[in-house]
Amino acid sequence: MNKLYQVLPLLLFTCAIFMVGCDSMTTSSGNKPTNPGTSGQNSGDPVTKALLGMQKKEQNLQAKIDATSDQFGDEEAMFKLDEQQQTMYETHFTELEKMLEANGWISSKKYGSEVSGQALSILKKAPAEKLEKHLDMVINAYEKGEANSVDVAFIHDKVLMHKGQEQLYGTQIAFNPDKGINDVYPIKDETNVNERRKKMGLEPLEDALKKLGIKYELPQ
């Protein structure tokens, strides 16, 4: 990892405004088409039922967290809910890995965008060190039009940052001690980053960072 940067908790940026349409299938000119279906071709399929069940559990727990956060001062309750959420994410990741091993990628063409999107959502929240072995599968799925390009860009950058390599799309934020501010993690071929972002369905980097209160100018 670049020694000038300290990685921030990535869950804060899992659905950051770097990613236009974070929870929907995003397409753009030059991007591979994706299946616009929602819950898959067969709602009784075991994979579909399992992933949509995980999605519902995550949504219900998040609703509890949101409600509790509105009750000022209940730090103990929030801590317990946060622990419960992390345990849930770990369990769902383990279950997803078993599915991937048994069935291969959870394709949006086969299962629909909602089910495929839930698989990507689980991967995005997983520790970066556990994602590297799945990266080739995810990239291959995107190239075949079977995975949301926005989510794939995030996962790819997350793995690269963990490995101490420059990211490709600018989706990852880290604390820069040299500047004393939160800053975009170093980007490979930064001059052309917006071309890559456009291909993946992402808005220009300077616009995304502005929404996060980070001043950024594209290198000339």
For the record, the structure tokens of 212 come out as 């996060």
DSSP secondary structure, 120-137, as one string: HHHHHTS-HHHHHHHHHH
pLDDT digits (tens, 9 = 90+) for 139-158: 999 999 999 999 999 999 99
Number of domains in the chain: 1
pLDDT digits (tens, 9 = 90+) for 90-134: 999 999 999 999 999 999 999 999 999 999 999 999 999 999 999
Residue 82 in any domain: the answer is: yes
Residue 124 in any domain: the answer is: yes
For the record, the structure tokens of 61 come out as 């727990």
The model's pTM is 0.80
Instruction: Provide CB contacts within 8 A for 214, sequence distance 6+.
Output: 173, 181, 182, 183, 184
End-to-end CA, the chain: 26
Its domain, for residue 53, covers 6-30+44-211
Residue 35 in any domain: the answer is: no
Residue 126 in any domain: the answer is: yes
